Chain A
Amino acid sequence: MSSTVATPAAEPRTNYLNVDYGWKSWVFSTDHKRIAVMYLITIAFMILVGGSFAILVRLELATPAGDMLQSETYNKIFTMHGVVMVFFFLIPGVPAVLGNFLVPIMIGAKDLAFPKVNLLSYYIFLVGILLTLLAAAMGGIDTGWTFYTPYSSTYSNGQVALAAVAVFITGFSSILTGLNFVVTIHKMRAPGMTWFRLPLFIWAHYATSLIILLSTPVVAITIVLVALERLFHVGVFDPTYGGDPVLFQHMFWFYSHPAVYIMILPAMGVISELISAFSKKRVFGYPVVAFSSLAIAVIGFFVWGHHMFVTGQSTYAGVVFSVITMLVAVPSAIKVFNWVSTMYKGDIWMTTPMCFAIAFIGLFTVGGLTGIFLGTMGLDIHMHDTYFVVAHFHYVMVGGMVTAFWGGLHFWWPKMFGRMYPENMGRVSAAIIFIGFNMTFFPQFILGYMGMPRRYHFYPEEWQVLNVLSTAGATLLGLGYLLPMVYLPWSLKFGKVAGKNPWAAKGLEWETDSPPTTFNFDKVPVVTEEAYAYPEGARHQPEAKVV
C-alpha cells in the first residue's frame, strides 16, 4: 500500500462527529452538519418507503390484467409513492442534506444564520412524515399526489384531510430551510467572498430558496382549502356553491411547477461542482450559469398552465402558457451547453461522482426535451395523462435529481465522514443505475405515445412486452440504488481515511478538515480568488488518480 493518504498519527482531531457521542448531542444539535446527517438518515428511510410502493406498482404492471392489487389499492399505492417521493425525498433531498452541510462551509461561515430554526425545520419535517405514514396506516389516500378537486374535496373516501395537514406542515419545513439559506447567503459570506466568487452550488441554492419562499405558502393554503372543503363544504372548489374545481389546479400548479425546479436546481448546482472538479477547469461561462438559475426561478413561475391544457382553461391562456414554457427551457439548455463546454479539453477523471454527473447530463437532456413536446399545446392533447408524461418527469426527477444526489453524496462523502467509499463499487453502481434507469423509463415513452394512460392497472395485451421490460429495468435500478446503501455505510468504518482534499478540488469546503470541526474553520477564511480558479491547462496529479 502506498501512503498517499496518511493515517492520522496519534489521536484524530476533534470534529463535528466525535465531539460528543451522547444521543442528546444529536437530537438537540444546532450544528448544520449534524442536522444534515439526520436529514440524510431520514431521507434514506423515506426513499426505501417510496421505493417499496414503486415496486408494487411495477409488479402489478408486469401483467395486463389487474391481478395483484385491487383497483382501489392500486390507486392508493401510486398515490403514496408520489407523495412520499415528491414531498419527502425529491424536494428536501439535495437542499436539506447536501445544502445544509455545505452552504455555510462553502461561503466560509460557522453555521447557518438561524441554527435553531434549522433544527426546528427538521422536526417539522419529521412530524410531516409521521402524519403521512399515519394517513397511510389509517386507510391511505387515492387522489394521486396532485390532490385534484373535486375528487379530493368531495368524492374520495380516503384520509385526504389528514394527508393534507401533513403536506401543509411539511411545507413549513421547506420554508424555514429556504429562509435560512437566503439570510445566510446574504449576510454570512466570509471576507472576500463576493457574489461572483460564490460556487455555483450556492447560486443554485439561493435561487431555489427564493422559489421555496414565494411558492410554498400558496400550496399550503391550497391544500388547507381542500381540507376545509371536505370538512365544512366551504365551496371554493365546488360548483354547487359557486366555486370552480379548475381553480384548484391553478393554485396547485402555481406551486408545483416551480416545485419541479426546487427539485432540479440544487441538483444542477451539484453538477456544476462535479463537472468543474473532475475536468479541472473553471465552469465555462460562470456568470451565465449563475444567472440562468435566477432566470429559471423567475420564468418557472409563469408556465404552470401547461399542466392544464386539457382542462377548461381558456385556449388563450393555454397559448400564453405554452409560449412561456418554450422560454423556460432556454436557461436549462444554457446550463447543459456550459457543462459540456467545461468538459471540452478538460482533464476528465472518471470517478464515481463524474460518472453520475455525465449520466445526469444525458438523462436530464432527454427529460427536458420531452418537456418541450409536452409544452406544445397541440401535442399535449394527445400525450396528456399518458405514460409519456410519467417517463418525462421520471427522466428529470429520477434521472436528473436522484442521479445528481448520488453524485454529490459520493463527491462530498469523504468531507462529511472523513472516509473514502470504494471507488470501483461506485462506478459499478453508477453503470447499473444508468442502464436500469433507461430500461425502466424509455419503454414508457413509447407506451405513452401509443396511448397507455397513467394511473390504471390494466392495459391491452400488446403492451406487455414493453411493460415487462420496464419492470425488469426497475429491478436493476433498485439493485443499483441498494449497492451504495450498503457500501457507503460500510466505508464509514472500513474506507480509507480521506484527508482534507482527496480530489485536489478548489473550494472552501476542501480547505477545512474532513470531517470538519463544529465551527467548520479554525479561523475565518479570507477569499482572494474566484470560484474554480484552476490554472490554465491544469491536470490531475497522476498519483491522485489511483484512488
Chain B
Amino acid sequence: MSSTHPHITPLKVYFLVFATLIAGTWLTYFVAYKDFGWLNTPVAMAIAIVKAGVVVLYFMHVKWQSRLTMMFAAGGFIWLFTLFAFTLQDYFTRSWMPLYQ
C-alpha cells in the first residue's frame, strides 16, 4: 500500500498465521466443553481477540505500516470500546435506582 516501498511478506508468515487461526478455532471449540464458571465468556473472548489481532497485524499488514496508519487502526478499536463501555454503563446501573427495581 505504501507508495515508496511495498512490504512483501514471506509466504511462511501467512501459513503461520493460518495455523494460529486454526488452532484458535480448535481451542474455542475445546474450551466450549469445559465449564470455567463466570470465566466462560472472558476465555472465549480472549481467544477471539488474539485471532483478530493476528489478522489485523499480519493479514492486513498493519504491523508494517506507518505510525499514522497504526493510530487510525487503533482508533477504530478505541471507538468500539467506547461504544461497549458507554452502553454497558447503562446496563450495569439499571438496578441502582429504586425506580427500576
| Binding between chains A and B | yes
A250 touches B87 (CB 8 A): yes
A503 interface residue (CB < 8 Å to B): no
B68 touches A315 (CB 8 A): no
B82 touches A314 (CB 8 A): no
Report B36 CB to chain A, min CB distance, Å: 21
Question: Which A residues between 66 and 98 are near B, CB-CB below 8 angstroms?
Answer: none
Report A383 CB to chain B, min CB distance, Å: 20
B83 touches A316 (CB 8 A): no
Q: Which residues of B contact A317 (CB under 8 A)?
A: 86, 89-90, 93
Number of interface residues of A (CB under 8 A): 22
B97 interface residue (CB < 8 Å to A): yes
A-B contact count (CB 8 A): 53
A39 interface residue (CB < 8 Å to B): no
Contact status of A214 and B87, CB under 8 A, knowing A314-B96, A314-B100, A315-B96 = no
Q: Which residues of A contact B97 (CB under 8 A)?
A: 314-316
Provide the main secondary structure of the chain B interface.
helix
Report B82 CB to chain A, min CB distance, Å: 6
A326 interface residue (CB < 8 Å to B): no
B99 interface residue (CB < 8 Å to A): yes
A320 touches B89 (CB 8 A): yes
Question: Which B residues between 72 and 95 are near A, CB-CB below 8 angstroms?
Answer: 72, 75-76, 79, 82-83, 86-87, 89-91, 93-94
Contact status of A312 and B89, CB under 8 A, knowing A251-B83, A254-B83 = no
Report A215 CB to chain B, min CB distance, Å: 8
Of B68, B96, B99, which one neighbours A186 at CB under 8 angstroms? Answer: B68
A399 interface residue (CB < 8 Å to B): no
A314 touches B90 (CB 8 A): yes
B96 touches A316 (CB 8 A): yes
The chain A residue sitting closest to B89, CB to CB, is A317
B79 touches A301 (CB 8 A): yes
A247 touches B87 (CB 8 A): yes
B100 touches A302 (CB 8 A): no
B82 touches A301 (CB 8 A): yes
Q: How far is the CA of A438 from the CA of B72 in the complex (A)?
A: 42
A312 touches B100 (CB 8 A): yes
Q: Which residues of A contact B76 (CB under 8 A)?
A: 213-214
Q: Which residues of A contact B87 (CB under 8 A)?
A: 247, 250-251, 254
Q: How far is the CA of A495 from the CA of B77 in the complex (A)?
A: 51
B83 touches A218 (CB 8 A): yes
A157 interface residue (CB < 8 Å to B): no
Report B79 CB to chain A, min CB distance, Å: 5
B89 touches A316 (CB 8 A): yes
- 29 contacts across the A-B interface (CB closer than 8 A): A214-B76, A214-B79, A215-B79, A246-B90, A250-B86, A250-B90, A251-B83, A251-B87, A301-B79, A302-B82, A302-B86, A305-B86, A305-B90, A312-B100, A314-B89, A314-B93, A314-B96, A314-B97, A315-B96, A315-B99, A315-B100, A316-B93, A316-B96, A316-B97, A317-B86, A317-B89, A317-B93, A320-B86, A320-B89
Given contacts A254-B86, A302-B86, A320-B89, 8 further A-B contacts (CB under 8 A): A182-B72, A186-B68, A215-B79, A302-B82, A305-B86, A313-B90, A314-B100, A315-B100
